[in-house]
Structure formats: structure tokens, C-alpha cells
Amino acid sequence: MFPIKFKFIKIKNPKDLEKIVQKDQKDEEKKEKNKVKGGNGKNGKKRVELKVKINLWKILIAVMLFIFIAPFLLSVFEIANTTQKLDISQALSDIKDEKVKEVIVQDNKLVLTYQDGTIKTTTKEPTDTLSSLLEKIGKEPSDIKYSVVDQSLSKSFGDILGILLPVVLFGVIFFVIMRAQNKSAQDIFSFGRSKAKLFSKGKQDTTFADVAGVDDAKKELIEIVDFLKNPAKYRKIGARTPKGVLLFGPAGVGKTLLARAVAGEAAVPFFSMAGSEFMEMLVGVGASRVRDLFGTAKAQNPSIIFIDEIDAIGRQRGRGFVGGHDEREQTLNQILVEMDGFTPNDNVVVIAATNRGDLLDPALLRPGRFDRRVMLDMPDKDGRLAILKIHAKGKKFVEHINWEKIADSTVGFSGADIENMLNEAAILAARDNKETIEQNDIDEAATKVKLGPAKRRLQSEEDKKITAYHEAGHAIVTHFLFHMDPVQRISIVARGMSLGHTLIPPAADRTHETKSRIGEQITAMLGGRAAEELIFKEMTSGASNDIEQATRLARAMVVEFGMSALGPINLGPQYDSDEMGKAMFYEPAQISPAMLEKVDGEIKKIVDASYKEAVALVKKNKIKLDRVAEELLKTETLDREGFEKIVGNKSKSK
């Protein structure tokens, strides 16, 4: 029904009717505009809406508590008023003695008003009336003023309320329980829905400008984003959309950051989901979520799906003792079908990330599913410099920070390590109440990230002296070996499992290692033991890790690298692996006892030669060794500048 308004107007001239109608229409339009501007309020004022959240469970608990507590409170109130209550015998005695002025009968209650104005109450039996009580004391009803109050209506209302209130209360409880059951039933049917997060255009701040050190991978993903933005440019020459891109590499190199950058750059819907989110206790839920995820992405194509840690669901089938009804296997089968099955999957690109590419199923890696496999490595020097500049934004540094030196000293750091290093440097500066971050803060943070936090252990003077000469021996031998890199830092502060350390980062990123450099590395590792024997005429257990590393490197020279008198022969286990690191073939080493004896002899020859060279260098530079150890005992830490002031500048290595 629509409301109809009638307006009666006297019209003298029929021609004026059209003008009146037009005027009314204009008035109505003005009223509508005023309503919109004024928020449907008077004088253009905005209407204020109050929203009240009602919790049915709290209301029910409050009502039930009131029902149980109310009688107790009433009884307490009555007990508190016992001073105004009389026994029926005392009340009748007072009426007989004419002390009572008036009596009011309220059902079984008698209200007595005394001559002095005092009001007291008493209770009679339901079968007794006031007249019968007066007869017992020899009084007539006419001898006293009394009145009767009719309470039948209130009593009836109370009886009805006592019946209806429990019924209503149980009805509400039943309604709430049924509602909760319906909600639970809906939740059961929602198990199979995808939990992917949708990032629309403009919702993600990370872009490709925030990613550095992985330029090759960035180019691949920039191409994917451009394909989705401009598909006509590629289809014109017959190119199709790549089905998927797999990012794999060590932890912390920027796989997830690249995906976030794609979400920030792509002008298409971006669905993000972790591999573990597909798995549930119920079998079949993972496959259902895969179907729902791809169905939603296809409905909004072109779109991108990102699956982080895909190895959680993409592991190779047939491994282990679980049969074909394994939940992970069903989920993987559904992904395989969705990515390249009978149903076309155009304009939906799947990007996945993992650091365990060797575990993935071969069917998942073939072209047509993941067409592109992008390997992310640790950043080189230029990449580390770019990463430092990105993560240095928003932090306050002193002027003239040597970023080149920092990039040189962080060889082997991933992007996540570099970000953590700068954050630790900021924390160190703030802890010391500095306003800016200094170079030594960054150096300390780099050491903390690489070796762990410093530990102030209680050591005797003898232990400190042994540690100082041990680390000084490493530094002296390294400094005077031609092919070794410069010593960057020496410390006798305990970190992790070590009592001290000597940092010798590579001066440049290297792809190959020569026999000369590997031999000198073994010599530098044995410099600590050589210094201990020279100074203390004793061997300590502190060199155990050095000896282990030196022996392993010498064995690799003989068994794997062919750098011994046995010639270029691989005497280790035979194995082969694909580009993902998955072992394709493995055969244990098959070496005769005679050859094993020769291998052990070559290893001993290499280690003995290196140790003799270390002892010779330590003896030749004993004075410098003593000065370095004394300085370490005073300051606990020496950087490259302080070390080279004692021993001189290092000759340039090849």
C-alpha cells in the first residue's frame, strides 16, 4: 500500500491548475533534498543512532539468578522488619485493651494502627476471619474501626506470572540452544570452503621496488604481472598464459616478499593461502578447499593464486606407509587436476614457494602446471648493498656509514638476515640511549646474527689467556698466508658454543676454490693449536672443532675434488640429483681396503703439511702473536684496523 495525500484547493481559473501542480512538485523536491542534507533530522542536524548489543546468554543468567535470589532477599527484608511484627495473641490482647485505633485486613495480614500512631503487623490463619477473632476476645466488629483491602487481582496476577515465567524462560533457553545447533551445522558445512586471503588492488603496499638481491626472479614475476595486465600483447603472437611459477631457494631469500610485491603490483585479484591451511582432520576437506579456491579465482579471472610452503601438500606420492586415501595425497591430486586437467584454467596463474623443492611430486613440477621454476640464491655484494639501502629507510644513521664494508662483511647473509641485522643495530643504539645508529652498532649486530649474542662467562685468567693466544694464532697465520682473505674481527667474548672467534669473511663472492686456497684454509684452522703448543707447551680441547673442520676439508680434497697424489678420482659415494636437489641416484662408496688406506694417508699428509706451516708462521711472528694476545686480554675485541696496526697491512691476495 502506498500513502496517498489529498489536497483541496479552490480554483477560480482552470488555467491555474497546472501552475499549482508544478509548484507542489518543486516543494516536494526541496523537501527530499533537505532530508538528504540534514540526515532525515530536523534543521539539518545529523541523526544519532544508538546500537546496543544484546547477549541472550547473559540476560538468561541474570533472570535465573534473580529468580533464585529474590526469595532470599525478601526473607532477609522480612527478618530485618521483625521489630514491627507481632504475634496474633499479642495483637488480640492489644485490641481487647483498646490500644488499637484501626485494623486493616490484607488477606492473611492484619495491619494495626495504635492510638499513638505506631503501625504494627501480624498474620492470621487463612481459615480465620477478623470477626471470629474478635468474638474470641469478646469484642464485636462494631467496637473497632476496620477495613478490608481487596487483593484478589494482584494475587491472580502473581499466580499467572508464576506459571508463565518458567514457561517463557525455558522457551527462550530452547530457542538459544536450537540457534546454536543451527550455527554449528552451518560451520560443519563450511569446512570445505577456502580460507584464502584476498588482496585487491591498492590493498598491499609492497611493490617490486621493495625487493632487491633477486633480480632474475623479479624479472620472471614482472613478466607474469604484465601478461595479466596486457594479455592481448602476448596472445597476438600466439603466447599463452603460464600456468604456474614455482619459487624455491633457501629460507629468508625473499620468496614470500616477492609474492607480496606481486600482490602490490598486479591490478587483478590476488588470493594468498598457506599449504598447511588446506589440511584438516576430516578427509576430503583439503580437496574441497582447493576446488573452492580455484572456483573463486576463475570467477574473478584474470587472477593470481599464491600458495606458500607448498611442500606441506605437494610432497611426492608413494613415500611412507600411508595408502591412497591420505588427506595430503587427495589434496595434491585435486591441485594437479585444477592446474592442468580437462577443465581450462585460463587467466589464473598459480605462484608457489618452498625451500624443500626436493620433496615435491614430479607431476606437480612438469610443464603445463609449473611452467617456470625460479631458483633464488643468496644475494651477491651488489644485491646486499641494494637490500641494505631498502631496509635502512626509516632508520637514523650517522653520516659516512661505510655500506661497502658492511656488504663485504655480510657474505652468506640472506635478505632476512640483513633486515634482522639492521633492526638489531637499531635496538643496540636505542638501548645505549643514542639518537643515531653508528658503524660499531652494525658490526656488533652482524656478529650477533652470525654467531649469536655475547655471553659473559666466568673464566679464570688462565682460560682467558689460552683463548686469547688461540684466536691470535688463527689471526696471525691467516694474515701471513698469501691466498687468505683479511681478518675482519678477533674476539675472546664467548658466543654460542665457542669461547672466542676470528672472523675472516671472503673479500669477494667466489664461485670456485683453488687447491692453494683450500690448503691455506686448513693451515689457518690449525693456527690456534700451533699457538697453544708454542706458548703453553701443551694441547687443549679448544681446538677440537678446528681439527674436525680441517679433516673434513682435507678429506673432500682427496675424495671429491681429486686434489691429491691419487689423481682426479672420485672415491666418495656415487649420486646424482636434479635442479631441485632431489636425489636421482645414490650408490655407497665402493673402495677397497688398500685404497682406503691410501686415502687416509693422503689426508694425513695434507693435514700434517698444513700444521707444520702453521707452526712455522707462529714461531716466525711470535712477538706479534704476543702483542695481539695482550691486546685481546685488555680489550677482548680487535677489529681489522686495530689488528693491522700491530701486524702491518696484509699483502693483496690473488
- The b/e string for 633-654 (b: 16+ C-beta within 10 A; e otherwise) is beebbbbbeebeebbeebeeee
pLDDT at 282: 59
Which residues lie across from 289 on neighbouring strands? none
Spatial contact of 510 and 518, defined as CB atoms under 8 Å apart: no
Please give the Cα distance from 598 to 569 (Å, whole number).
13
Percentage above 90 pLDDT, the chain: 14
Confirm whether 435 is a catalytic residue. Answer: no
pLDDT at 46: 45
pLDDT band at 653 (very low <50, low <70, confident <90, very high): low
Percentage above 70 pLDDT, the chain: 76
Q: Which of 14-18, 158-162, 166-170 has the highest mean pLDDT?
A: 166-170
CATH architecture of 381-450: Orthogonal Bundle (1.10)
348 C-beta neighbours (distance < 10 Å), count: 25
* Nearest Cα to Cα of residue 411 among 563, 213, 637: 213
The dotted CATH code for 56-153 is 3.30.720.210
Query: Which helix (H) or strand (E) element contains residue 255?
Result: helix 255-265
Helix segments in 343-402, DSSP class H: 362-365, 381-391
Contacts of 266 (CB under 8 A, 6+ apart): 201, 225, 228, 229, 304
Parallel, antiparallel, or unpaired: how do β-strands 501-503 and 489-491 relate?
antiparallel
Q: Which of 327, 419, 471, 532 is catalytic?
A: 471
Question: How many CA atoms lie less than 13 Å away from 546 in the CB half-sphere?
Answer: 27
Please give the Cα distance from 333 to 326 (Å, whole number).
11
Q: 146-162, pLDDT tens digit by residue?
A: 777 766 666 666 667 66
What residue ranges do the domains of the chain occupy? 1-46, 56-153, 197-375, 381-450, 459-647
Contacts of 590 (CB under 8 A, 6+ apart): none
pTM of this structure:
0.64
Please give the Cα distance from 495 to 510 (Å, whole number).
27
* Nearest Cα to Cα of residue 109 among 86, 131, 90, 132: 86
* Three-state DSSP state, 519: helix
Please give the Cα distance from 327 to 282 (Å, whole number).
8
The dotted CATH code for 197-375 is 3.40.50.300
Q: 337-357, pLDDT tens digit by residue?
A: 887 765 665 678 888 888 887
Which residues lie across from 350 on neighbouring strands? 244, 305
Helical axes 461-479 vs 593-620, angle rounded to 10°: 100
* Three-state DSSP state, 183: helix
**CATH T-level fold of 459-647:** Methane Monooxygenase Hydroxylase; Chain G, domain 1 (1.20.58)
Q: 356-414, pLDDT tens digit by residue?
A: 877 888 888 888 888 888 888 888 888 888 888 888 888 888 888 888 888 888 888 88
